[in-house]
Amino acid sequence: MTEIIDRSRVDSRADIYDRIVAERRSVRAFLPTPLPADLITRLFTVAGRAPSNCNAQPWTTHIVSGASLARIRNVLLEQARAGQIDPDVPLTSTYVDQYKARRIGSAVTLFEATGVGRNDPEAREASFLRNFELFDAPHAAFFFMPRYFGLREAADVGMYAQTLMLALTAHGLGSCAQGALSHYASAIKRELGASDELICLFGLSFGYPDEDHPSAAAITDRAPLSETVILHD
């Protein structure tokens, strides 16, 4: 019987995909060099191939660069320093057990790489504010969906963003998905001119990674499959 699938071609593509997924990380320092406009178009076009419930494609994405990025960065820093949070999605998550341990482990990994001491509140605050400096990225994206949607559609936006992050990685670029940016949803929407009928879910800094920055050494681990996947015969 003639083989329907060319296994050598499939295996080669699978190896490439595995490497792209493994190489994706949260980049927390970027070079100032902007991406070409046609590359940004290509990346977000690819991201738009992400799946969604009933093909609703519930995402609306605002991309900031140049002067618009500088303005949103200033707004975010001002809001963060003032502690004036105003999220569209209530901050009700509670981290317990293994989830709390993983969250702490992530912070420890970053602080150890960047030399932030456990008992150095000023350094910890500066590290936190790096989020709102957008890690010096030349571009950032903000992801919204209509207010009348729910968890299913929010998951769709997450799949869209993951598709984008993998595309960025495939092009040798970096990204950092930032839930903290959504803490200042009202200020973001005012600056972007986005409708209040949209919910701001999170943001994403992206660009060329600064591989010489200490944060580049902060690589988080992943839980073993036995903790996250249940197989049924």
Helices 37-47 and 151-170: angle between axes, nearest 10 degrees: 140
Report the CATH fold assignment for 25-220: NADH Oxidase (3.40.109)
Among 14, 24, 72, 26, CA closest to 218: 26
Concatenating the DSSP letter of every residue in 76-139 gives HHHHHHHT----SS-------HHHHHHHHHHHHHHHHHHT--TT-HHHHHHHHHTTTTGGG-SE
pTM: 0.94
Question: pLDDT tens, position by position, for the chain (233 residues)?
Answer: 456 777 777 779 999 999 999 999 999 999 999 999 999 999 999 999 999 999 999 999 999 999 999 999 999 999 999 998 999 999 999 999 999 999 999 999 999 999 999 899 999 999 999 999 999 999 999 999 999 999 999 999 999 999 999 999 999 999 999 999 999 999 999 999 999 999 999 999 999 999 999 999 999 999 999 999 999 99
The radius of gyration of the chain from alpha carbons, rounded to an integer in Å, stands at 19
Domain ranges of the chain: 25-220
Q: Nearest 5 degrees, angle CA 15-CA 20-CA 26?
A: 155
Strand partners, 26: 175
